[in-house]
Structure 1
Amino acid sequence: MLHHVELYVSNIKKSSEFWGWFLEEIGYHLHQEWDDGRSWKMKETYLVFVQTEERFMDIPYHRCRVGLNHLAFHAESREQVDQMTDKLKNKGVKILYPDKHPFAGGKDYYAVFFEDPDRMKVELAAPGSNN
């Protein structure tokens, strides 16, 4: 079981707004909060978001560079994937691979792929979606 993931972000306010509503929608709760960071927890696993120091902001994040490519979460159902897709669109969040949605991961892989404020790919996959 994964213990935690810590991500440095370019704007803690934007990231907290984005990740807070999404994570709470799928069952996480706010765990910790401090000036430069926040964490959300579900059971024993938590996600931490920390403001990147100004001196390290010269090279922006890109998921195709060495490092984290994306985070994928379990959805409860295909309906939850559809509902989340609508909410993401209403919030102006960029949906990735819109021409293949919701089967961008393959004909048996039902999911929504989207970007966080730093353009990290995030995925919400329905049950039975295995690659």
Structure 2
Amino acid sequence: MPRALHHLDLWVAELATAEGEWGWLLASCDWQREEGALSWVHPDGTYLFLEHSPDQHGEHDRLRPGVNHLALTVDTRAELDRMRAESTEHGWHELYADRYPHAGGEQHVALYVESSEGFEVEVVVGD
């Protein structure tokens, strides 16, 4: 089956900070860093770029029209728990901590985190 999403370009304010935050998160979800670029590839072939463009203006606000968040997957609850324990030291802030791991509902096992720039990522166990 072909992948459903070809790639994502994320425009960030500060590349060095974003590289550390996103690099850790993507590696934790089995994405591989491409040598010589600020891009990561998932085993299914989907890739993600981080870039800062001179065409950017304003700050990211996930609550405005546009993309609200990305949802990535991990295989096991143990991986999710490890990510939760390590997320703060990698620049991510946990959202809905009081309802972990069922903030999305009793049948949904996920971690919700926000980057220093306000990007939200939902990490879901399984498909």
TM over 0.5: yes
Q: Closer, same or farther in 2 for the Cα pair 1:92/1:120, shift >3 Å? A: closer
| Contact 1:93/1:114, CA 8 A, preserved across alignment | yes
* C-alpha distance in structure 2 between counterparts of 1:15 and 1:88, whole Å: 14
Unmatched runs of 5 consecutive residues or more in structure 2: none
SS of the residue aligned with 1:109? coil
When residues 15 and 92 of structure 1 are mapped into structure 2, their CA distance, relative to the original with a 3 A threshold, is: closer
Distance 2:88 2:106 in 1: 23
Give the aligned partner of residue 9 of structure 1.
Answer: 12
Task: Encode CA deviations 1:83-105: one digit per residue, 9 max, x unaligned.
Answer: 11001134452100111111110
With the length of structure 2 as denominator, give the TM-score of the two structures: 0.88
What is the letter of the counterpart of residue 2 of structure 1? L
Aligned to 1:105: 104
Measured on the aligned residues, the alpha-carbon RMSD in Å equals 1.7
Residue 123 of structure 1 deviates from its aligned partner by 1.1
Note the alpha carbon deviations across 1:17-51, whole angstroms, 9 max, x for none. Answer: 111112112211112535xxx11002311001101
Contact kept? 1:72, 1:125, Cα under 8 Å: yes
Classify 1:92/1:45 alpha carbon distance in 2 versus 1 (closer, same or farther; 3 Å): closer
Give TM-score scaled by structure 1 length.
Answer: 0.85
Q: Is the 8 A contact 1:72 1:124 kept in 2?
A: yes
State the 4+ residue runs in structure 1 displaced beyond 3 angstroms: 89-92
What whole-Å deviation, never above 9, does each CA across 1:64-113 have from its counterpart, x for those lacking one? Answer: 11111111111111111111100113445210011111111011111100
Shift of 1:118: 1.2
- What pairs up with 1:1-131 in 2 under 5 angstroms? 1-34=4-37, 38-43=38-43, 44-53=45-54, 56-57=56-57, 59-91=58-90, 93-127=92-126
| Count of residue pairs the alignment pairs up | 123
SS in 2 for 1:33: coil
